[in-house]
Chain A
Amino acid sequence: MSDNHYVSVISVRNLTAGYAGETVIRDISFEIPGGKIFAIMGRSGCGKTTLFRAMVGLLKPASGEIYYGDDKMEPISEQPKIEILRKIGVLFQSGALFTSMTVAENVAMPLTQFTSLPQPVIEEIVAMKLELVGLQDSAKKLPGELSGGMQKRAALARAMALDPHILFFDEPSAGLDPLTSSELDETIRSINSFMGTTVVLITHELRSVYSVADSVILLDPSEKTIIARGRPRELEQDVSDKRVRDFFHGGLN
């Protein structure tokens, strides 16, 4: 039964997608194992954002399918698959907090949206999540009053509000200093180990990937498909493909 079924695997099959007639990714297939940290990497323009948007239902693919367990993901513009959406949390690149609401109201959104929990319970959950990300003193602040790093943490609290089975991070280190970035890596690691959450990282930040990712796929802008997959350290040692070498060694050879 998919209601009680732990949605632990994402299966992408023969996915082709793009914008306005231009194909960005072609015939991509891969599986994301449950409970692991999976990174989608590539140079600028390789299609990782397109892939990410298709996976969370924001983009209708030209062809191919995405399955969350036994449930097929339909693009949100058609018939939002609420059962899938309530099991995923998304941290957007810019945080994407709702600017007219306080931090606490932001974190409460998934709870009010997907559950019928009573108000006091929701308030408890919000307080807990804010404490987890260290923002318990900022509950009543508006997003505009927070720094970039704090906004990301608030957005993370919102993404985690329902303890989702799968968390998506779109360029988590973007706009963060190295120190804050490694703190975020640490947070990702602890979410994964304590709660068994599957984490999907869309990034080009090698340091983060070495630090947290269990497995990686590498996309290429000219091939428009996956050119390498495996453990990060394995791909680093792989000398067979020049593009893989260039990516992992920063073009220094």
Chain B
Amino acid sequence: MFQIKFLQQSFDELLIEITGSASVEEAVALDRELLNILEAQPLKNVKLDLGGLDYLDGAGIAVIRNFVRNCHKFSNNATLINIPLGGKRFLESNLSDSHATMGILDGIDEPDVATQIKHGISNLRNSSADMITFIGGVVDAFWSGLRRSGSIRWDGLAKLFEKAGVDAVPIVAALGFLMGCILAFQAAIQLRKFGANIFVADLVSVSICLEMGPLLTSLIISGRSGAGYAAHIGSMQASEEIDALRVLGIDPILYLVCPRIIAVALAAPCLTMISNIVGIIGGCVVAGFSLDITPTAYFNQVKRVLEISDVTKGLIKSLVFGIEIASIGCLRGFQVRGGAESVGYATTSAVVTCIFVLTVTNALFAVLFYYFPRIWSF
């Protein structure tokens, strides 16, 4: 409990005596009372006598400091007298300078737009530099690896291929099948209007083999292997395992990255092929149910319209996508600086970058195939 007594000493001077206890229990009431006093009578000079306080804690000190700051805001002069021992440190300092404490809970200061743009450009430059250095390192590693054939670790390759390829078959098959069904279903709605039902086979088989198969499969691989490699290598980076490799004279890129790139480059076309087959079958199932097309008719149409070049173009795309995914996943892993949070960031960043790069590469391939359609039919 506290008591406030005030004495008007002269027409613009006020002496406020606080007695009793100024602790966290009384802080809210004390703060309000002091503010009322200030608002009720604008004054030139306020003296706060704290000699009667028998208990003063941090909250009480903070309320008094706040009061003094408010006095200064109203252009009043506030002085404290008879400050108890426990309050000396924070109540004797020049409180008009304590405006520095205002706003400390406001969160991080966002830099202005110009600085943000500057940071953005320098980040872009650094990450491009990282990527180019990494690509150089990978090419160099492969080059030296091929010359000294003992140095690429072929023994781990089977395990990596199993993880990247074989383990992904169920999900690729399931999603491929569903995609074939969805494509056929949507196609059916439109083609029925023209009585052109049989062309559902054309649409499903060509678009799956050329575009949807490679892209969907690669997106699945990004989520599984791209993120996985980023997490694995990132954790190794965080726990100094990469440093330990270097100190043993082992090139981490040759040891970790090259086998992974080879594994995914081999796995991706295989998975794409599975996705293609299963997708065409999915299309057949839907075509049977909603367009009354018999499987025989469907597959005859597929055979008629699907060219080998359509399939090979798709497989080449998925090979390139696979190389990109593994490279990006490993690069993000090496870029980890710090602990778990950094590893988490690297993992999501790997997937996002993969999606972006895959989309751009796909577009480039579309242009390439348009201008050189015949090269791909072997």
Contact = CB atoms under 8 A, between A and B. Distances in A.
Interface stretch (B48-56, B57-65, B247-255, B341-349): B247-255
A97 B236 CA distance: 9
Contacts of A93: 240
A80 B249 contact: yes
Contacts of B235: 99
Interface in B231-256: 235-236, 239-241, 243-251
B244 A85 contact: no
A92 interface: yes
A46 interface: no
A114 interface: yes
Nearest to A170: B240
Contacts of A18: none
B241 A98 contact: yes
A53 B247 CA distance: 10
A57 B251 CA distance: 13
B133 to A, nearest CB: 10
Contacts of A98: 241, 244-245
A76 B247 CA distance: 8
Nearest to A113: B248
A114 B250 CA distance: 10
A97 B243 CA distance: 11
Contacts of B239: 94, 96, 99
A76 to B, nearest CB: 5
Contacts of A110: 248
A96 B246 contact: no
Interface string A21-47: 000000000000000000000000000
A56 B247 contact: yes
Interface size class of B (residues with CB under 8 A): 10 to 19
A119 to B, nearest CB: 14
Nearest to A82: B249
B241 A76 contact: no
A99 B247 contact: no
Nearest to A162: B248
B243 A58 contact: yes
Nearest to A20: B126
A92 B249 contact: no
Contacts, number: 48
Contacts of A76: 246-247, 249
A21 B375 CA distance: 51
Contacts of A58: 243, 246-247
A110 B246 CA distance: 11
Contacts of A109: 248
B244 A92 contact: yes
A245 interface: no
Nearest to A56: B247
A90 B247 contact: yes
A159 to B, nearest CB: 9
A86 B249 contact: yes
Contacts of A226: none
A114 B323 CA distance: 31
A88 interface: yes
B249 A96 contact: no
Nearest to A91: B244
Contacts of A80: 246, 249, 251
A96 B240 contact: yes
User: Which of B241, B245, B250, B251 neighbours the largest number of chain A CB atoms within 10 Å of its CB?
Assistant: B241
Contact of A85 (B240, B243, B249): B249
A152 to B, nearest CB: 13
B241 A57 contact: no
A126 to B, nearest CB: 15
Contact of A114 (B241, B243, B249): B249
Contacts of A82: 249
A96 B235 CA distance: 11
Interface string A56-92: 1110000000000000000010001010011010101
Contact of A113 (B236, B241, B243, B249): B249
User: Which of B236, B241, B245, B249 neighbours the largest number of chain A CB atoms within 10 Å of its CB?
Assistant: B249
Contacts of B247: 56-58, 76, 85, 88, 90
Contacts of A53: 243
A96 B238 CA distance: 9
B248 A92 contact: no
Interface string B260-304: 000000000000000000000000000000000000000000000
Nearest to A81: B249
Contact of A57 (B244, B245, B246): B246
A98 B243 CA distance: 11
B248 A96 contact: no
Nearest to A77: B246
Contacts of B241: 96-99
Nearest to B156: A100
14 contacts: A53-B243, A58-B243, A80-B246, A82-B249, A85-B248, A92-B240, A96-B240, A96-B241, A98-B245, A99-B235, A99-B239, A99-B241, A113-B249, A113-B250
Interface of B: 235-236, 239-241, 243-251
Q: What are the 9 A-B residue pairs with the smallest beta carbon separation, nearest first?
A: A96-B240, A96-B244, A85-B249, A92-B240, A76-B246, A90-B247, A96-B241, A82-B249, A113-B248
Given A56-B247, A113-B249, 5 more contacts: A53-B243, A57-B247, A88-B247, A96-B239, A113-B250
